[in-house]
Amino acid sequence: MDLKPRHCLPIHGPEASPSPPRPDGPTGAAWLHTGGGGEWVVPSGGPVLETRWSGDAWITTLDGRPTAGSPWDALEAAVQTGGLPWVGAATFELACAEAGLPHPTPAAGSLGQRWTGVRSSLHRRPDGALEAWSWEADPPPPGAWPRPGAGPGTPALALTPRWDEARHRDAVETIRDLILEGRFYVANLCVPFDGRFEGDPADLASAAFRRARPPFGALLDLGDLTLLCLSMERLLARRGGRIWSEPIKGTVPRTGDGEADRIAAARLAADPKERAEHTMIVDLVRNDLGRIARPGSVAVPRFMAVEPFPTVQHMVSTVEARALPGLGLADLLRAVLPGGSVTGAPKHAVCAHLAGAEAAPRDFYCGALGWIGPEGDLDLALPIRTAQIQGNRVTYWAGGGITHRSEPGREWAELLLKTRAITG
């Protein structure tokens, strides 16, 4: 993680235990986890920016006070004041609304985004050392720092798809027919899975982080709900003038048998359906970045690399560019969100179809999640492999790209494979 605090103090003694950091105490905490071992725990107490759907419009507040401008404009204004980084998430529907794309209408009162300004945090480096971070002029006293939580349990979670394989087959075949009619080239079809969980979400997160080792793991308390993200996909990053995205398209199981996994990876890389789908999404991301990039700067330094994860192997590319001078946060988000790998191409036509074809609004699944620094740098994950927890109810989504070569049975099996990140 490239974010740099104003104050950084090493932690020694009993607090520097090998137990993983985790939110422990008041609501509003955030826990960001990377597969490489780095973790960042943020206590509650910072300023909060929220956007909700009133039934007629998106209304944004900062610490309960209404703000001017669109949701992305309000977020940009908040980030530019106070000198704090912000941690949070936004929904797929809000991202579509800001980009002018069709989407299901949320229920009145639905949360569209929530971001918390970070005053202090506990950071565990990849080598295991603990540090206290602060962005305040004077660091808080030792007792105010967050602490590592207790060791995780091993909670179980069972999930049931909201529709069955027959309905999914019909939805896939409809998309294939629309592709043949020329309506679009690829569409990402998603299905919610429902479950019940009676324990501590931090225990569920600990177990899932150990099992899936997600590069973009997070547990966020968003007030109305808790968001558990096990994403492998970088939606958007910025460091100074460099902006980039790392779209994923193409999935095969990982068995743990080295030779079998090597063969599966080679087959994935050569599969005509997967290559066509991946190429179309890379082209879409290139076009998105090109709208806010210096002319001629868009490049693809990594194309169709097969990366292994604990339960799957994915095909990943990197698309990067140099940002236009003076590019603001709101314009950057409008250009790239929602992510091309979870919509399809062209975005408008695909979103218009999916708004009526999927079983429910996606909410925070496929929106954006991560941190935004006070100087404009950011790292946002695409919240795939993501569960929303409300009380004892869990909703976990899985999806896949549909092309004219898609086989409905294979697409259904891919959905079930993707639930293993959270169910084991």
* CA 285 – CA 369 distance, rounded (Å): 18
> Is 375 annotated as catalytic?
no
Question: In terms of Cα–Cα distance, which of 390, 364, 383 is closest to 226?
Answer: 390
Greatest C-alpha distance within the chain: 66
Annotated catalytic residue within 76, 98, 246, 249 = 249
3-state percent breakdown (helix, strand, coil) of the chain, nearest 5:
30, 35, 40
Residue type, 319: V
Question: In terms of Cα–Cα distance, which of 192, 136, 105, 181 is closest to 395?
Answer: 192
> Is 136 annotated as catalytic?
no
What 23-28 contacts at long range (C-beta under 8 Å, 24+ apart), as own/partner pairs, is 23/146, 23/149, 23/202, 23/219, 23/221, 24/146, 24/147, 24/148, 24/149, 24/150, 24/202, 25/146, 27/221, 27/223, 28/116, 28/221, 28/223
Annotated catalytic residue within 39, 76, 233, 274 = 233
Please, are residues 87 and 116 in contact by the beta-carbon 8 Å criterion? yes
**Burial class, 150, CB count within 10 angstroms (exposed 0-12 / middle 13-18 / buried 19+):** middle
The residues assigned a catalytic role are 233, 249
